[in-house]
Amino acid sequence: MPYLDHAATTPMRQCAIDAWVEHSAELNPGGQYGSGRRAAAVLAEAREEIASLLGADPVEVIFTGSGTEANNIAVRGLFRASPLERVVSSPIEHPAVLETVKSLAVTEGADMSWLPVGGDGHVSDLSALESPAAVACLMWANNETGAIQPVAEAAARVAESGTPLHVDAVQVVGKLSVDFHALGATTLAASAHKFGGPRGTGILLARRSPTPAAVLTGGGQERGLRSGTVDVASAAATAAALREAVAESDRARREIGALRDALVAGVLASVPGARVTSAEPVLPGHAHFLFPGANGDALIMLLDSRGIEASTGSACAAGVNRSSHVLEAMGVPQREAAGALRLTLGRTTTTSDVELVVREIAVVVERARVAGMV
Ligand code: PLP
C-alpha cells in the first residue's frame, strides 16, 4: 500500500516510540523534588541533543505543541517585541505563517511587504529585506512544491537592516543539514512528526536576542515563550527521532532522491501534458505535478481506490481541498492548478510503490480529466 504523503506526516520511528514509552511515566519537570528532577534531567538531555544536532545552544531550544505553534510564537512575538510595523513575508508560506502575518495586518496594524515568487516556485527578489522591518518570514522549503528557498541569502540581507528573520524549517529539519547559528536566523520552527517523531510536538529555536514577546501567558516555562507543562516523553522521542534522521540523512537523500527521480521520469513519460511544478533545488522526497484539465479531488480519490495515498499538497480543511495560494503566487493558470498532485516519498517508500504509481497514473489522470470537464 503506497503511502506517498510523507510531507503531511511520516510514520513514527521505532527509536522514537521506544524513547516515548521509556519516559511516558515522567512527572512534571518543574517539580522541586526527586521525580521532578528526574523528569527535568530527561528534558535537559533531549534539549541538549536537539541543540547540538541543529547548531543551536540548549537555551535556544523551546518545546512547543506543534510546528504551527512554533511559527505563531515566533512571528507574532517578534512583531510585538518591535517598535516597527513593517512585516516582510513570502506569499507561499504555510498557513501557520501566512495566516499569522495576515492577522497581524488586520488586527495589529502590520504593514505587509511581499517577496515576489517566480514561476519556478522560488522567491525571486530579496530586496524588500533591505529596509528595516519588525520581522521577516521566509520558509526554508515549500510544503507543496518542495522548492527550497534562498534562506541563507535572506539572512545575509536582513543582517544589514537589523531585521529579525524567522525561518519555517518544518519541511527541512531531519532532511537537509541545519546549522542555526551558521544560518543567522533569529528564530526557526520545526515539527517532530515530519521527521519520525511524535505528532503534537514542535521545536522553536530562538536566539537570546531579540526575544519574541510572549504570545501565551502562564507559568513561564520554556523561557516564558511557551508556558505550559512540557511533555517530557515527547521531547525525548523527538530527540531520538532527530538523532536517527540526521544520522541517516545523507543516505536517505540519495536513496529517496533516486526513487523520486524514477517516479518523476515514469509519470512524465506516461501522462501527456504533465509537468513538474517547480525547478530545482527541490527537497529530495517531493514530486509535485500539474496535470492540466484534471480534477484534483478526482485524482486523489482515484489513487486512493488503488491503494495509493497522496494529496494535492494544499491546505486541506475537513477533507476539502482549497485552491492553492502557492500555485497562485507562482502564476500557475487555474486550469493547471486544479490538476495538482503532490507525491512525497519517505523512508518507508519502496521501488514497488513507485512502480505501482507509474503503472496506474495514466488511467487515473485520464479519468480525472473527464471529471475535470464537468
Ligand atoms: N510549516 C510547514 C512548512 C508545514 O509543512 C507544516 C505542516 O504541514 C507546518 C508548518 C505545521 O506543522 P504542524 O503540523 O506541526 O503544526
Residue 318: which pLDDT band, with cuts at 50, 70 and 90? Answer: very low
Distance 67 CA to ligand 1 centre (A): 5
- Interval 72-119: pLDDT, tens: 999 999 999 999 999 999 999 999 999 999 999 999 999 999 999 999
Q: Is the CB of 96 under 6 A from ligand 1?
A: yes
Q: Is the CB of 94 under 6 A from ligand 1?
A: yes
Radius of gyration of the chain (CA): 21
Residue nearest to atom 12 of ligand 1 (CA): 67
SS3 204: strand
Contact 321, 297 (CB under 8 A): yes
Residues, the chain, total? 374
Residue nearest to atom 6 of ligand 1 (CA): 170
Distance 98 CA to ligand 1 centre (A): 12
- Interval 325-344: pLDDT, tens: 999 999 999 999 999 999 99
Whether 265 is in a domain gets the answer: yes
User: For residues 146 and 24, what is the distance between their CA atoms, to the nearest angstrom?
Assistant: 34
pLDDT in the model for residue 160: 87
Classify burial at 282, counting beta carbons within 10 Å of its beta carbon; exposed 0-12, middle 13-18, buried 19 or more. Answer: buried
Whether 1 is in a domain gets the answer: no
Residue nearest to atom 15 of ligand 1 (CA): 67
Q: What does the DSSP 8-state code read for residue 119? A: T
Distance 48 CA to ligand 1 centre (A): 23
- Report how far apart, in Å, the C-alpha atoms of 295 and of each of 10, 253, 300, 327 are: 26, 31, 9, 15
User: Residue 209: left (phi > 0), alpha (psi -120 to 50), or beta?
Assistant: beta
User: For residues 366 and 261, what is the distance between their CA atoms, to the nearest angstrom?
Assistant: 23
Strand ordering across the sheet containing 275-276 = 275-276, 286-290, 340-344
On average, the pLDDT of the chain sits at 96
Same domain, yes or no: 31 and 174: yes
pTM to 2 decimal places: 0.97
Pocket test for ligand 1, best of 93, 138, 143 (most atoms within 8 A of CB): 143
Residue with cell 510531507: 7
User: For residues 369 and 356, what is the distance between their CA atoms, to the nearest angstrom?
Assistant: 20
What are the residue ranges of helices labelled H in the chain?
14-23, 34-54, 67-81, 95-108, 151-161, 180-183, 232-247, 249-270, 296-305, 325-329, 334-337, 351-373
Whether 4 is in a domain gets the answer: no
Residue nearest to atom 8 of ligand 1 (CA): 8
Whether 2 is in a domain gets the answer: no
Using alpha carbons only, give the angle 323, 290, 288 rounded to the nearest 5 degrees.
90
Positions marked catalytic: 316
Contact 90, 137 (CB under 8 A): yes
- Interval 115-143: pLDDT, tens: 999 999 999 999 999 999 999 999 999 99
Domain final position from 230, 247, 264: 247
pLDDT in the model for residue 315: 63
Residue nearest to atom 14 of ligand 1 (CA): 67
pLDDT in the model for residue 372: 84
Q: What is the CATH number of the domain that holds 71?
A: 3.40.640.10
User: For residues 173 and 251, what is the distance between their CA atoms, to the nearest angstrom?
Assistant: 15
Pocket test for ligand 1, best of 64, 149, 170 (most atoms within 8 A of CB): 170
Average pLDDT over residues 137-155: 98
- Nearest one of 70, 20, 14 to 42, comparing CA atoms: 20
Same domain, yes or no: 255 and 236: no
Q: Is the CB of 277 under 6 A from ligand 1?
A: no
Q: Give percent of the chain above pLDDT 90.
A: 95
Q: Alpha-carbon dihedral of residues 325, 326, 332, 335, nearest 10 degrees?
A: -50
Same domain, yes or no: 272 and 204: no
User: For residues 45 and 225, what is the distance between their CA atoms, to the nearest angstrom?
Assistant: 20
Domain final position from 214, 247, 280: 247
Same domain, yes or no: 218 and 303: no
Which one is predicted more confidently, 1 or 296? 296
Which domain does 206 fall in, by range? Answer: 14-247
Contact 90, 138 (CB under 8 A): yes
Pocket test for ligand 1, best of 75, 151, 191, 324 (most atoms within 8 A of CB): 191
Domain final position from 212, 247, 282: 247
In the chain, the number of structural domains is: 2
**Cβ partners under 8 Å of residue 176, min gap 6:** 140, 141, 148, 249, 253, 283
Q: Is the CB of 67 under 6 A from ligand 1?
A: yes
